[in-house]
C-alpha cells in the first residue's frame, strides 16, 4: 500500500528572547549595546513574521545583527526569513554562519533540514536533521521531519521510530500522528489498526478529513 501524503508544515517557530528554552544563547554583546534595542528589534521581527510581512521582519533581524553581528538568535531568524522569501542561497549562508559560530545550534540545523526537504535535497536534509536531533534530542518537530525524510528513503521502521518519539514528546502534535499513520500503512502487510489509531487522533486534534485515508479505513473496518 502506497500513500505519499505526508504533512510537514515548513514553518519553524521563531526564536524568542528565551532562545528555545536555553538551547542556544546569543553571543555577548559589545559594551555599547543597548538591551532594549535588541528586545524591540526581536519583537518587531517576530510580529512581522507572524503576519508574513517578511520584508519588515528581515529589516528587524538585520538591526539585531548590526548591534551584534554574531548574535545566534538574529542569524537563525534572519535565515528563516530569507528562506520564506525564497532566497534559499542567502538563507543557507546565514544559517551556516550561525552553525560556524556555535556548532550545536540545533534550531539552525532544523531550519536547514526543513529547507532542504522543501528543495527535495534528501541527503542534505537527512544530514542536517540528524545533527538537529543530536543537539536537541527532545525536539518533537525535529523527530517528525527526520522521520519523514527517513521514510521517504524507504526505511519504514526508522521512520516509525522517529515519529513515535515525536508523539511521545508532544502527544498533541497533529502532523506527527498523521505521518505515523501513513508509515504504518507502508508496512507489508499494512498495520491498519495502528494507522487508524493515529489518523483519528490527528482528526481529534483538528486535522481535516483525508479522503484517501478514510477510504482505506472504511474498506478495512473491523468486524464487530
Q: What domains are there in the chain, each with its CATH number?
A: 34-130 (1.25.40.10), 138-224 (1.25.40.10)
Q: For 68-171, where are the alpha helices, taking DSSP H only?
A: 72-84, 88-101, 106-118, 122-135, 140-152, 156-169
What pLDDT score was predicted for residue 3?
42
Backbone angles phi, psi at 170, to 5 degrees: -140, 90
- Residue pLDDT, tens place only, 71-87: 888 999 999 999 999 99
- pLDDT value of position 50: 87
Mean of the per-residue pLDDT values for the chain?
A: 84
List Cα–Cα distances, 224 to 191, 216, 221, in angstroms. 19, 18, 9
Higher per-residue pLDDT: 93 or 4: 93
Q: The whole model's pTM is what?
A: 0.83
Average pLDDT of span 53-75:
92
Amino acid at each position: 500500500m502506497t500513500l505519499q501524503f505526508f504533512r510537514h508544515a515548513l514553518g519553524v517557530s521563531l526564536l524568542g528572547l528565551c532562545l528555545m528554552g536555553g538551547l542556544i544563547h546569543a553571543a555577548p554583546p559589545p559594551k555599547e549595546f543597548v538591551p532594549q534595542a535588541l528586545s524591540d528589534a526581536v519583537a518587531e521581527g517576530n510580529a512581522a513574521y507572524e503576519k508574513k510581512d517578511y520584508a519588515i521582519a528581515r529589516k528587524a533581524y538585520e538591526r539585531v545583527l548590526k548591534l551584534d553581528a554574531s548574535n545566534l538568535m538574529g542569524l537563525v531568524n534572519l535565515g528563516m526569513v530569507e528562506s520564506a522569501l525564497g532566497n534559499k542561497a542567502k538563507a543557507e549562508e546565514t544559517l551556516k554562519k550561525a552553525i560556524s559560530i556555535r556548532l550545536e545550534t540545533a534550531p539552525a540545523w532544523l531550519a536547514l533540514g526543513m529547507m532542504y526537504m522543501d528543495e527535495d535535497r534528501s541527503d542534505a536534509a537527512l544530514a542536517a536533521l540528524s545533527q538537529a536531533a543530536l543537539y536537541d534530542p527532545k525536539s518533537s518537530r525535529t523527530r517528525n521531519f527526520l522521520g519523514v525524510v527517513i521514510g521517504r528513503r524507504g526505511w519504514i521502521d526508522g521512520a516509525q521510530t522517529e515519529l513515535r518519539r515525536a508523539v511521545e514528546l508532544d502527544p498533541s502534535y497533529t502532523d506527527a500522528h498523521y505521518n505515523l499513520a501513513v508509515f504504518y500503512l507502508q508496512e507489508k502487510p499494512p498495520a491498519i489498526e495502528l494507522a487508524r489509531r493515529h489518523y483519528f487522533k490527528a482528526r481529534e486534534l483538528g486535522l481535516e478529513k483525508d479522503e484517501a485515508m478514510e477510504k482505506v479505513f472504511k474498506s478495512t473496518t473491523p468486524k464487530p
